[in-house]
Amino acid sequence: MQLLFFGSIQEELNMTDIELNLNASNLGELKSYLEKEYSFLQEQPYTFAVNEELVRDLNHPLNSGDTIALLPPFSGG
Amino acid sequence: MNIMKSPSGDLGAIKSIFIQGPIPMEEITHWLEHHQSKTKDGAHDLFLGQVRADEVEGKVVQYIEYTAYEEMANPVYQQIANDVISKYKVSCIHTLHSLGKVESGQWSLAVLVSAPHREDCFAACRELVERIKSELPVWGKEVFEDHTTAWKENTKESTVHHD
């Protein structure tokens, strides 16, 4: 799966995206992995988008070809 | 980007609402000129979002650097525009949002709503602006005079009911 990072998360990680070979069956498993790997995410408010759609349900199933974005709070306008 | 209601009530697909840098005055005057021939409209409501020279802990914001998840933001905007145009009696919506550097005093968001009457025009414009600010995956990084930065946070100025 491909991960995309935006805003303050992108700045903190100093990368825009990463290809991840992770056996995560749902969004919750990915979230646990990410927060262990990048501990600042435990304190950082963010939401997920899967294939360009906002997903709040952590039971949302994931497939290996998915594009998952980590989105900090929006501040456009 | 311009969205007009067709006779069947459908909306044309948009390409992108984003523009690199501040929104130029010419773009706004072009929109307005274009509407003088639309004589069924009786009202235009124009919202311009301007970068404020906010003072944070003694430092003044010089500019905001905007980034967006464009592949997601454009369809989200399209949905918002569809919702608004089916809820209110409006004939036309124009929206532009900046990416990249926008200095204090310059415009980063422009929304023009045209309608036969003012009531729907005001309400539709208000709802569009509020939803753009809360639902579009766009981020602003404030850059101060001393080159330090802070991630902008949007304050919620009102509650908008979507139904």
User: What secondary structure does DSSP assign to B145-160, as a single string?
Assistant: TTS-EEE--PPP----
Nearest C-alpha neighbor of B35 from the set B103, B94, B110: B94
What pLDDT was estimated at residue B15?
83
Chain B interface residues (partner A, CB cutoff 8 A): 49, 66-69, 71-72, 75, 97, 108-109, 129, 132-141, 151-154
| Separation CA A62–CA A50 (nearest Å) | 8
CB contact under 8 A, B152 and A75: yes
Q: Pick A51 or B5 by higher pLDDT.
A: A51
CB crowding B143-161: b at 16 or more within 10 Å, else e: bbeeeeebebeeeeeeeee
Each residue's pLDDT expressed in tens, for chain B with a length of 163 residues: 666 665 444 455 568 999 999 999 999 999 999 898 899 999 999 999 999 999 988 999 999 999 999 999 999 999 999 999 999 999 999 999 999 999 999 999 999 999 999 999 999 999 999 999 999 999 999 999 999 999 998 876 654 444 4
The half-sphere exposure of A56 on its side-chain side, counting CA atoms within 13 A, is: 1
CB contact under 8 A, A71 and B137: yes
CB contact under 8 A, B137 and A6: yes
Record the tokens describing residue B36, joined without a space: 């003088």
ipTM: 0.96
What pLDDT was estimated at residue B8?
44
Nearest C-alpha neighbor of A44 from the set A13, A3, A77: A13
Q: Which residues pair with B156 in a beta bridge?
A: none
| Separation CA A16–CA A56 (nearest Å) | 22
| Separation CA B98–CA B18 (nearest Å) | 6
